[in-house]
Amino acid sequence: MDLPAVTAPDVDARRAAVARHAEMDVPDGALGRLAELGVWLAAAQGVCPPHPLARPRVVVVAGDHGIAEAGVSVHAAGTTAEQVTAFREHTAPVGVLAAVAGVSVRVVDVALDSDTPDERRIRRGSGRIDREDALTGDEADRAFALGRALADEEVDAGADLLVPASIGVGATTPAATLVAALTNTEPVAVIGRGSGIDDAGWMRKAAAGRDALRRARPHVRDPLALLRVVGGADLTALAGFCVQAALRRTPVLLDGVVVGAAALLAEELAKGARDWWLYAQRSPDPAMALVEEHLDLSPVLDLGVRLGDGTGAVAAVPLLQMAVSLMAETGDR
């Protein structure tokens, strides 16, 4: 895939931010991670001190997965649309926290298995990856392009911080498979409890991941082929979203194993994209430990939140706003 080179965050702004913290009337290093957040945001914005975040935005990509038929979730296959209703009514956890944090939320139907048509939908549910490809080649191309277009739309509308998020029954199984494929890890080491499955559900999920990984291994050097074979429309769109956010020089908060897996693929497709990302909070999902190590990102928070809808990322937004205020308003020595 022919993508432009990713431009690195502003080095001069980063140096100015580091120097600014050295001038503050606080002991050296006393602000810890809060100082690091301010420096990261200054580099991303290209200005010191950084501007307060004016339009942080969560984009929830929704899609069903055929692998849910294998009993890998506590939710029935094809029922993601029911969960999406809570997002649109702002009663899902991310919507509740977003109202507190000053963040807006958008939900996009990429692959819901629903009779309600949507012009942006790639297909009705992604294929069952333990037996068939998640997408056709054309669908993979369109899903990636859609993710890029979504990022463009948000940046053009004024978004200055993006939070890619996911909702989809069965989505953590392809996510874990992608992480296993890219990190050369056995399925049992990356399979988590996802929606809260019991031991029998975990065994079904591990078996599905094993069979999917067998199908994935021939494609480990081709990120888009991996997404086509064992990913899905939502994961592919999220990868495109993460790539385009970096190309548009817009900071991103990562949260959740589905977004983490998509980010791994995005970094493979556009080296340097990870410099525009911040890992919001440590997920208890075992695959995220590998994502963290592979992308060399350390979490801002350790909340134990296992949701993939951006809840943990939204919880980190006020800390970014605080880091901006500290750099701009703390007195000098």
pLDDT at 1 over 80: no
Residue 118 has pLDDT above 90, yes or no: no
pTM of this prediction? 0.96
pLDDT value for 72? 94
Cis peptide bond prior to 49, omega within 30° of 0: yes
What local confidence, expressed as pLDDT, does residue 254 receive? Answer: 97
pLDDT digits (tens, 9 = 90+) for 43-77: 999 999 999 999 999 999 999 999 999 999 999 98
Provide the token pair at 117.
Answer: 């048509």
Q: Tell me: the pLDDT tens digits for 216-271?
A: 999 999 999 999 999 999 999 999 999 999 999 999 999 999 999 999 999 999 99
Report residue 138: phi and psi, to 5°: -65, -40
- Where are the domains positioned within the chain? 56-318
Task: State the pLDDT at residue 188.
Answer: 87
Report whether pLDDT(187) > 90: no
CATH code that applies to domain 56-318: 3.40.50.10210
Band (117; pLDDT cuts 50, 70, 90): confident
Inter-axis angle of helices 223-230 and 257-269, to 10 degrees?
150
User: What average pLDDT score do residues 89-93 get?
Assistant: 90
Side chain identity at residue 127, one-letter code? G
2's tokens = 């022919």
> Tokens representing 331?
């007195």
Give the model's pLDDT for residue 31.
94
Mean pLDDT for the stretch of residues 142-151:
98
Sheet holding 104-111, edge to edge: 104-111, 56-63, 161-167, 252-254, 277-279
Spatial contact of 222 and 140, defined as CB atoms under 8 Å apart: no
- Fill in the DSSP letter of residue 7: P
